[in-house]
Structure 1
Amino acid sequence: MIRILIADDEEIERVALEKILTTHLDQVEVVATVGNGREAIEKAGGLKPDLLLMDIQMPGINGLEAIGQIRERFPTIKVVIVSSYDTFSFAQQAIRLGVKDYLLKPSKVQVIVETIWKLCEEIVQERSRLESQEEADNRIQKALPILESEFVSRLLFDQVQEIDLEEVSTLMKVAVQPPASVIVVSLQLREDWDQQDRSLKNFMCEMQAELRGRDDMMVGSVSGHILPLLFFHRKGEERRLIGKMMEQIRRLGCRDPRLHIGLGVGSAKDGLDDLRISYQEALMACSDLGMGQGYRIRFYDDLSQEHGEDDKRLWYERKLIEALRHERWQDTKEIIFCLLSVMEQKQTPLEEARQRLYGHFLLLIHLLEEVGVKEVPAHILLRGQSYMELWQEARVKMEELDVAYQRFQKNAQFDAFDQVKKYIEEHFMEDLSLEQLAKFVQLSPFYLSKCFKEEFGISYVDYMTQCRISRAKEYIRQGGLSFKEIAYAVGYHDPNYFSRVFKKTCGLSPSQYRDKK
């Protein structure tokens, strides 16, 4: 129903207008009739009508003054002046106030009905547009966490197109501008922690939601007990801001004293392409935290300064990251033992050596999980009271990881990437995330993204875009659907974004493509 408020100082006019409207227009409801401008202002505030029929000359506040105050508070209310005055000055003021039409008394019933009917149709169309926009906004809001995690994963493990940066920056309300650092949040498990305890997963989800409220950060997907973050900041301010962020996490985690949280912070990068390096540095910084308790922060820049660029341990840790990234498992095993050998040669205190080795194994476990290795040991307990005992423990733990890795290699589905490709072709119109695709073939998101591109020479996101644009072309050639309907049909939440992607892919806008065909 269209809600109408009538304001006229002559009761006979109010009654006549209400009678005409309710008799000839089924879709209207006269919510109130008033006799002066002040009452009109009060009723408009309480009843919020869609349409206001206003006389000009009324006692107290006149119609034009009342319209000005009402439109200032409720700019969507449409106004029609109903008056016996037709002077040019009144018409000028009415135009400035955004009045939609002017009915001169006395008006014929047909003129009144046609004028109001036209405005009712306009209101209905605007409602429909607003509802469609609200529906689109709701879709986008529901998809934002997925899009954000997806963007972080692609930035750390894949490539991001310029159009993505523009769109993500707008949608997430985050200034995606370098310099930026990668932060790795690591939850360390106490020895007595029940692996089936859902409180850990619940905490990670709560932390994701909490950090997504920041305008200087983008939150990735949880992998094991690791959560990657993209942190955009001014150089020189990162330590102060990250310290505040740790306080935010501490307040969230204080409910469970079993939580031990470490932040590893990679160095600031001026180019987004270098954030993969910052991610590796953050993992190394995280591993350097060792087995400590509480809430701790480690900056990769401090490692370089403390140990020097020529420090053997730091050099081996970098080699460890590189070997894991390129799946050189044999090299990885050798580097772990080289790291232990360096610490023994330098006569590193045993407690410090245990903590560093513990950190290396945590890093190893996390990166194996990223690749897709299942059933890796959840706890790494190192209790050796001598380097000889520490060597024995390290060999046992490495053997456990080696067994898990070899089992993964043996059971790998070599047709998994063809399955993913086919799945994308059949489901591209849905909200497909990297995590969803990885779960479909039981691989890790990172491993799937990396291998899909190696196998087909194109990232899974770009392939999904190809499928969507190809189907969109078919719909345009067939006709019958608006561009907005086509955008939703092929999987886009925002028709404007669809148009930009279409033009970037095809060199033509959707309308240009339609006209050409």
Structure 2
Amino acid sequence: MPYTILLVDDETAVREGIRSRTPWERYNFRVVGEAGNGIEALELVEELHPDVVITDIRMPYLDGIELIQKIRLSHPTTTLVILSGYDEFTYAQQAMRYDVNEYVLKPVSVEDLCNLLKRLGKHLDEEIKRIQDQDRLNQAYQQALPLIREKFLVSLLTAVHPSSDAALLAKAAEYGFNLNKDEFMVAVIETDHVMEDPLQSMAMFEIVEQVVKKDDGVLLFQFENQIAIIFSSQSHGQDHYDAVFRKQTYRKAEQLQAYLQKYSFHAVLGIGNLVHSPSAIKQSYHQALTALNYSSCYPEQSLLFISDLEKLPVEEHQQQLEELKANVLVAVKMGSEEQVTEAVNQLLGEQLASLSLQDMQALLLELTFLLQDLTHSYGYTLFSMAEEEGRNLFSELATLTTLGKAKRYFTRLCLMVRLLIAGQREKSHIQFIGQAKSLIAKHFTEPGFGLEEICEMIGVSPSYFSSTFKKEVGNSFVKYLTSLRMDRAKELLIKTEGKTYEIAQAVGFAEPNYFSFCFKRHVGLSPSQFRQGNR
């Protein structure tokens, strides 16, 4: 598969010349898009995810240095090339700061461009080969962390009887870890590669390690065919630091996913809620696992934040449930009808044949209360629902004297609860999109209003919001917002005498020239031409 390139230059003739004269296919490259300014380029990067961005420096609205700065933050794996007519040390110095791969001076010949593509192709090939080098991976695989350090990290996630915070801090210091913090979030990464091949597992681990190794507040280790990450920070007693820490963790998770996708690791990240003590890290870990369980409901999502998926606290009693009971609840919450039936059949299978009638009915009663807890978390009451239908659950439970009867009864009951939850989830989804549209309608005229602002208002991560919004609305957030602004601009151009710069400000554009550019791209006419044609 060829590597993809985005060309960015404010001179159309330059872009067309480079695109038409360069034998891209010969060097295994393909141009997937062009942009005439930095803002347009940033939108295309979000949409196309190119392997390489070749950009000029001097451009309107957002120059090349600002563009690469933003790309490096949001898409750290992108290969960046500056193609500029300015041989200035300051630009080269800034380019080095943002890890630009090539700095090429204009004018460039076809030979220059071919040599550039050779170097870029070699760099990209070697980077992938380095990650997939089996000999190197085998050597790295043998170099595991000392067992005692790893055991301590695992105990933070799994200890049945967790130690006090003071004891954990003392042990952490002894093993060289700094847990003297008051903000923690746990992420768990799951992929098929880990299950199949230990070398691939190590390869993925190294990619993740490369992303987080510069961050002081990160602990990274492998555990039960997964990669666990403990993010931490210190709030210094300031409440607003919690929001900052969450946002930083969201961005780091998005960077991790970008790296994993680049090297073809199909991974899913589950992220738990923020907790405020080392002894509570276990809680965030179990929430991260719960988030991963939602991957079957949202197969298009590769980043699953528990705060996006469950607004109510996760009941800790599920940690003590036997595996088969937990499977029933998971199937009811997120599975198909076949999965619910299978889970009930497994729970009420032959292994219970030797139970006394009293023990079996105690088990059925416990399962009923677990289903009640589940329905209650979605705003319903199982017993009240039965009473509304003229039924009494306790009386019905007393009639279940055989496993066959119990199996048939609870299959029907669990399928009913599943339908109830599915309807509530769909209703919640619709409310989420409705809330987003209302906020956009309220704030779209404000300069600076964008993706980060609306995610902050709703309280969800940018990746979850973007994918959910596009799936439900059919348009990306940026296109939806731009369309809304353009419709209002057309209305103002027809009904008022406002100048172009006044209308630009009125619909949320701080830069009048960029407003004119967007308007012409969206409508096909300049603002003045549109006004003249509609008077």
Normalising by structure 2, what TM-score?
0.35
Normalising by structure 1, what TM-score?
0.36
